[in-house]
Structure 1
Amino acid sequence: MVAEAADLTIALAGAPGVSLAAPAVRSAPIEKHRQAWSLAPLIAGQPFYRSGRWVRGKFGYPGAPREITGSLPKAPAAVLVHGADGSVATLCLDLDTSSAAQQVVDGDAGRLGALLASCGLRWVEDVSPSGGRHLYVPLAERMGGAEARELVEALARLAPSLDASPHRNPSTGCIRVPGSVHKRGGHQELVTPLSAAYGVLRHRNAPDAIGRLCRALAPELRRNRDEATRRARGEVSRPQPQAHGALPAAMAHPSGGWQSPLRAIAETGLYDPARYRSASEARMAVLNHLAACGWTLPQVRGELTGQFPGLAALYQSRSQLERLLEREWAKAIEFTANDAGTRSARKSDTSPTEPTGGAKASVASIHQLVNDLENVLYAVLDARFHSLGREGIGLRFLLRGVLAYMRTMETNVLDVGCRTFALALGQHHGTVARLLRRLSELSDGMVTKIADARHRNADVYLVELPEQHSQTARDLTWRQGKIHAIRPVFRALGPAAALAYEAIERSRVSPTTAEVARDARIGRTTAEIALAEMAGYQMIHRDQDGRWHLTATTSLAQLAHRLGADADVAAQLTLHRLQRAAWHAWLDRHNPAQEIAEADLYDPEAEQHWIPPDDSPRFPY
């Protein structure tokens, strides 16, 4: 340590505010913290820090900035992150135990470290007495404050415990650095060896490495920009309750959006003790909900190190997790099965519906019918709808949703409400109601309305092969793969990307850009933009011959989660549940003979819903 300190003293000869005078003899721990503090000017955006103190029970860093010197401040000290011009010299990643459980903080530190290393970035790490961690990523070229904030908030999407507030205020943003006194006693302990930390801070990260990090965070950067745009427009990201009850208290999202309480518990491991008396009750609430949403035990296990580290943190140890998870999952399955048995398909927004009438066809004939209808769709109706502009795009995807429903439910009778297809398309249910009427007019008899809606029963449509297109259906070869409406990821990427992806996915040979534009019936420029964007997200790639292929290692469900599309699905489904609850309540008031339990109208544990991580789950995705 003595030799290491001597090397550091010599190397810091040019650092501002650091004295090269020989240190006085002092205790080893204090000397260690003073040496760590000597890194402060290499981390700070400008050579100043703020002293912290308790004010009326709240700790803060008020007062005027003070110049950083070689002496260690006796009070908690946080260096200013931004320079006088608002730029930053170091990305400061603050992983806080007040934002997530300790196990989540440690996991986030490892996950962020792996991401930084994969981009060729080096960093310095310290740990606080409270268990929080700081990662400092020094920059060879200073970065604008807005750009740095955007990058740190994108990283916060991957790490629930990451607090981006030091980068949010250019005038007061600050962070405690290695060696600084902690507000509750102790010091920030440097994890990176002192000499190695000095080497990282002197030989800082080049801009090309930061560029690689930006490319790796492309989905998160896009999601934050989209949410900022919606907030600027005054759009509400949280569904508004109607009729019975209000939504439970929601957790704040890193970028200010809404997040359901159960998802927040699964991500952070923090729960409301007024609602759940113990960690056991909190994790059972999460497991019950996952079971009700159609997840499987392997899917849950896979996400314990993915999007649900907080669920793992609710177990006291890894051994307890392995011992109890399977047993508690079995209880969750039993509980949700018993709960579902007390309800009818008409009272639950997420249960499969049962056809109310129509001809009973065999399963094989239904699948054959869908194959024939797909041929008619691609050969005839896509071209017809293409001429209708924006309305035609909606009709093309609505018909795809109808065929996907037929194949999944193995019926050619559609008696589900407009909200079911609205969820599949990412559209308002009023838009879907209008498109259904247009589809029945323009589909040459493929979709025909056979019964009107009444009380809780929706309009009923019959789907069959039009006689005038039967020869076309027989002449064309059936295509491989499944047909989809708007999969969650394409809520973020748009319909042009969905059509281009489908053209690659269902093509008999790998297409070129021109062939994608032709088969998807979109403009060449639109196709090029969509393909370039999907290639940036590693959804597709192009070979040396200029032909496009799907990237098998990229999960559309995981990408949808990173882009926030799954949260959009959850918000829409929650809104639909509340709207249907209001409609059922109205029916109950005007039809007293039909009794409806309060739990059928509003279930606070089931109204937040998220889709299992499967790229080809049951309808509508």
Structure 2
Amino acid sequence: MVPEPVSASTHALMGVAPYVKPEEAWSLAPMIAGAPSYRLGRWIGSRFQYPRPRATPKITRSLPERPAAVMVHGPDGCVATLCLDFDTSKALKGVVDADATRVGRLLSACGVLFVEDFSPSGGRHVYIPLRDRMDAAEARELVEALALTATSLDPSPHQNITDGCIRVPGSVHKAGGHQTLVTPLSQAYDILRRRNPASALVELRAALAPELTRKRALKARAARSVASQRNGFLPQLSLTMASESPLRRVARTGLYDTARYKSPSEARMAVLNHFSACGWSLQHVENELTGQFPGLAALYGTPQRQARLLPYEWAKAQSFTSTQVLQKRDPHKQRKKTAPINNTSPTLTTGGAGKLSSAGVHQLVNDLENILYAVVDHRLRARGRQGLSLRLLIRGLLGYMRAKETDVLNVGCRTLAAAMGKHHVTIARLLPVLVAASDGILTKVADARHKTADVYLIQLPEQYQQLARELSWRKGKIHAIRPVFRALGDATALVYEAIERGRDAPTTADLVRATGVSRNACSAALAEMEALGMIQRQGHTWKTTTVNLRMLAARLGVMDDYLEQISRNRHERAAWHAYLDRFFTTQVQKADLFDPERDEYWLPPDDAAIWYAA
């Protein structure tokens, strides 16, 4: 069941059943616990903990006088109930309430029954009773996947198989008061007695397929990093939430540094200034208040206050960021003049007939797409795994060509690497190979110099012009690596493209022939995309669904990888520019040209001195 929405106070929940005495609520403890025992809590230093006692007390009908938490795992290492702890130490109470409501809706949509309570501190607990006991590792994976959908969800009770515990309804709270039952007592008894069958958990796992895929990828990455350290190699770069900017963390959790921001108003303005500087609009901000940044909404307190203050504060943020941009501009920098100021000034060209128009560039890209699908893709298939990367790289270059509306590109390797989800060294290694394999489509016309990248010309060779005119253009947009395929891989990207841009709904055999991907890799890609809801089977053919690929990419954790790569590129680029600035002087002094007290000749060194020095 889904509990009714809650009010701002934890002691005034709307739609909650009549007050249940703590002693009566405590009677649910044996049906929640993984083992028939509990632990008493006490302060140890500055933390309130539940230490392991010498003699573990058994759960009885009498309510313990001190804060008590039941064990989540049993002696066999299995759990009887999934315990979800929404903690106010991880996010503001508004975020906690929103997370609990959203997770409750997800559970109800999957047919999962649960019991809910709340604590005097504002935290929320959700208990999912299981008809069949679940292995600890499987339960941990499922709870951690749910934690990826809710900022305030603390998975730690399921991460410690020996000491994981949780306070249950009726238990005394460390700050005073008791855990208050939200679900009516009779209904809670019925749910805990009937419990959830395995079929409901299958639906829940299907709904959490992106998060489960993300957790497995992170676990595999961590294992590879540990193996690299053991073998003496450098560890792989960690692409985790550490790459998240502090202001986005404030927008996500609502928690801010009180030493830096004196009030929620200052924290809100800092976040809004950040979003304004990133080019967001008010509509984008309003959409994310109920999406990935509920902490910003919690900083307003109430929806009425948010509706009244958000437009006003957003206008202030836009005014502030526009002023900052104007102040950063060089006041001494003059606009370029197109007219000569005297007879010795060089004449500036205007492009003339040699420069393609916007429509001409788009027509050229359409023709190049035809040649790409008809000729280039087939040639690159023979290169194996490298061929997959080359095929996506040329798609990325055509995408930049269409976006910039020019056939001359000077896009750096790091920019291409961030767009494709690869390392910049890989892009630097692939570009010369692509130039040689493109048969004149891609040509390098200038080497990188100082802060500018290599310059490439993209053109339609003469031998392909007749073929391009005979082939009809395909509908849709060409993509390199869309964000979601940074997590799913190159082969999956090509298979999805074949389904999306195919003239007819293709079968699996058609996809193998069209993409050049092996049968096993194609079947694995189809199964993974079907599990994520990206495609669906209709008879023997495949079709794309209406799933939002950007939202799916966010659920797979792609944005964390992207932000980490952007941050790393920014630091490396700044270090390179600082190195170049060492050799750049803006003004030459007269003493630098000639110093009368300095010898302007050079004496050759003594050969014997060199021999002895060696």
What TM-score, normalized to structure 1? 0.84
* 2:91–2:253 Cα contact (<8 Å) kept: yes
1:205-254: CA deviations, max 9, x gaps?
00110111111111111111111111122255547xxxxxxxxxxxx85x
CA, structure 1 residues 36+122, in 2 after alignment: closer, same or farther (shift >3 Å)? same
**Residue 585 of structure 1 aligns with which residue?**
578
The counterpart of 1:531, out of the listed 497, 521, 526, is 526
Hey, what's the Cα distance between the residues in 2 that align with 1:42 and 1:155? 22
**Residue 456 of structure 1 aligns with which residue?**
451
Hey, what's the Cα distance between the residues in 2 that align with 1:31 and 1:474? 78
**Residue 245 of structure 2 aligns with which residue?**
260
The residue correspondences of 1:458-473 to structure 2 (distance < 5 A) are: 458-473=453-468
Hey, what's the Cα distance between the residues in 1 that align with 2:550 and 2:329? 30
**Residue 508 of structure 1 aligns with which residue?**
503
The residue correspondences of 1:132-281 to structure 2 (distance < 5 A) are: 132-234=123-225, 235-238=235-238, 253=241, 259-281=244-266
CA, structure 1 residues 479+340, in 2 after alignment: closer, same or farther (shift >3 Å)? farther
The residue correspondences of 1:343-362 to structure 2 (distance < 5 A) are: 359-362=354-357
Structure 2 counterpart of 1:220, one-letter code: E
Hey, what's the Cα distance between the residues in 2 that align with 1:119 and 1:310? 27
Deviation at 1:344, TM superposition (A): 8.1
* 1:128–1:188 Cα contact (<8 Å) kept: yes
**SS of residue in 2 equivalent to 1:83:** coil
Structure 2, gaps ≥5 residues long: 1-17, 226-234, 331-349, 588-614
1:298-356: CA deviations, max 9, x gaps?
222112111111111111221221122223333333444444456689xxxxxxxxxx9
The residue correspondences of 1:357-506 to structure 2 (distance < 5 A) are: 359-506=354-501
Structure 2 counterpart of 1:269, one-letter code: G
Matched, 1:49 2:38: yes
Deviation at 1:402, TM superposition (A): 0.4
CA, structure 1 residues 192+30, in 2 after alignment: closer, same or farther (shift >3 Å)? closer
* 1:357–1:413 Cα contact (<8 Å) kept: no
CA, structure 1 residues 341+400, in 2 after alignment: closer, same or farther (shift >3 Å)? farther
Hey, what's the Cα distance between the residues in 2 that align with 1:382 and 1:342? 49
Matched, 1:285 2:270: yes
- Which deviates the most, 426-435 or 197-206? 426-435
The residue correspondences of 1:69-88 to structure 2 (distance < 5 A) are: 69-88=60-79
**Residue 60 of structure 1 aligns with which residue?**
49
Hey, what's the Cα distance between the residues in 2 that align with 1:395 and 1:321? 49
**Residue 553 of structure 2 aligns with which residue?**
560
**Residue 242 of structure 1 aligns with which residue?**
none
* 2:244–2:563 Cα contact (<8 Å) kept: no
Hey, what's the Cα distance between the residues in 1 that align with 2:467 and 2:319? 49
Deviation at 1:88, TM superposition (A): 0.3
The counterpart of 2:289, out of the listed 304, 308, 317, is 304
**Residue 22 of structure 1 aligns with which residue?**
none
* 2:388–2:491 Cα contact (<8 Å) kept: no
- Which deviates the most, 48-57 or 334-343? 334-343
CA, structure 1 residues 525+57, in 2 after alignment: closer, same or farther (shift >3 Å)? closer
* 1:45–1:89 Cα contact (<8 Å) kept: yes
CA, structure 1 residues 475+184, in 2 after alignment: closer, same or farther (shift >3 Å)? same
- Which deviates the most, 150-159 or 259-268? 259-268
**Residue 8 of structure 2 aligns with which residue?**
none
CA, structure 1 residues 525+441, in 2 after alignment: closer, same or farther (shift >3 Å)? same
Alignment root-mean-square deviation, CA:
2.0
The counterpart of 2:102, out of the listed 96, 106, 111, is 111
Hey, what's the Cα distance between the residues in 1 that align with 2:406 and 2:320? 30
**SS of residue in 1 equivalent to 2:524:** helix
* 1:297–1:329 Cα contact (<8 Å) kept: yes
Structure 1 counterpart of 2:451, one-letter code: R
Structure 1 counterpart of 2:194, one-letter code: H
1:78-130: CA deviations, max 9, x gaps?
00000001100000000001111010000011001001101111111000000
Structure 2 counterpart of 1:454, one-letter code: R
* 1:96–1:162 Cα contact (<8 Å) kept: yes
**Residue 127 of structure 1 aligns with which residue?**
118
Structure 1, gaps ≥5 residues long: 1-28, 240-251, 346-355, 595-621
Structure 2 counterpart of 1:38, one-letter code: S
**Residue 547 of structure 1 aligns with which residue?**
541
Hey, what's the Cα distance between the residues in 2 that align with 1:390 and 1:343? 46
**SS of residue in 1 equivalent to 2:81:** strand
Deviation at 1:286, TM superposition (A): 2.4
Hey, what's the Cα distance between the residues in 2 that align with 1:288 and 1:501? 38
Percent identity over the alignment is: 59
Hey, what's the Cα distance between the residues in 2 that align with 1:435 and 1:357? 31
Deviation at 1:590, TM superposition (A): 2.1
* 1:82–1:145 Cα contact (<8 Å) kept: yes
Hey, what's the Cα distance between the residues in 2 that align with 1:514 and 1:525? 11
* 1:238–1:258 Cα contact (<8 Å) kept: no
Hey, what's the Cα distance between the residues in 1 that align with 2:19 and 2:486? 55
* 2:32–2:81 Cα contact (<8 Å) kept: yes
**Residue 333 of structure 2 aligns with which residue?**
none
**Residue 574 of structure 1 aligns with which residue?**
567
* 1:101–1:313 Cα contact (<8 Å) kept: yes
Deviation at 1:593, TM superposition (A): 2.4
* 1:266–1:308 Cα contact (<8 Å) kept: yes
Structure 2 counterpart of 1:124, one-letter code: V
Hey, what's the Cα distance between the residues in 1 that align with 2:390 and 2:478? 15
**Residue 99 of structure 1 aligns with which residue?**
90
Hey, what's the Cα distance between the residues in 1 that align with 2:276 and 2:479? 24
CA, structure 1 residues 542+584, in 2 after alignment: closer, same or farther (shift >3 Å)? same
Structure 2 counterpart of 1:491, one-letter code: R
CA, structure 1 residues 273+150, in 2 after alignment: closer, same or farther (shift >3 Å)? same
Matched, 1:36 2:25: yes
Hey, what's the Cα distance between the residues in 2 that align with 1:579 and 1:522? 35
**Residue 3 of structure 2 aligns with which residue?**
none
Deviation at 1:357, TM superposition (A): 9.3
- Which deviates the most, 558-567 or 310-319? 310-319
* 1:49–1:66 Cα contact (<8 Å) kept: yes
Deviation at 1:408, TM superposition (A): 0.8
Hey, what's the Cα distance between the residues in 2 that align with 1:503 and 1:31? 59
CA, structure 1 residues 436+516, in 2 after alignment: closer, same or farther (shift >3 Å)? same
Hey, what's the Cα distance between the residues in 2 that align with 1:289 and 1:238? 25
Deviation at 1:263, TM superposition (A): 2.5
**SS of residue in 1 equivalent to 2:70:** strand
- Which deviates the most, 439-448 or 103-112? 439-448
* 1:237–1:258 Cα contact (<8 Å) kept: no
Q: Which has the larger radius of gyration?
A: 2
**SS of residue in 2 equivalent to 1:94:** strand
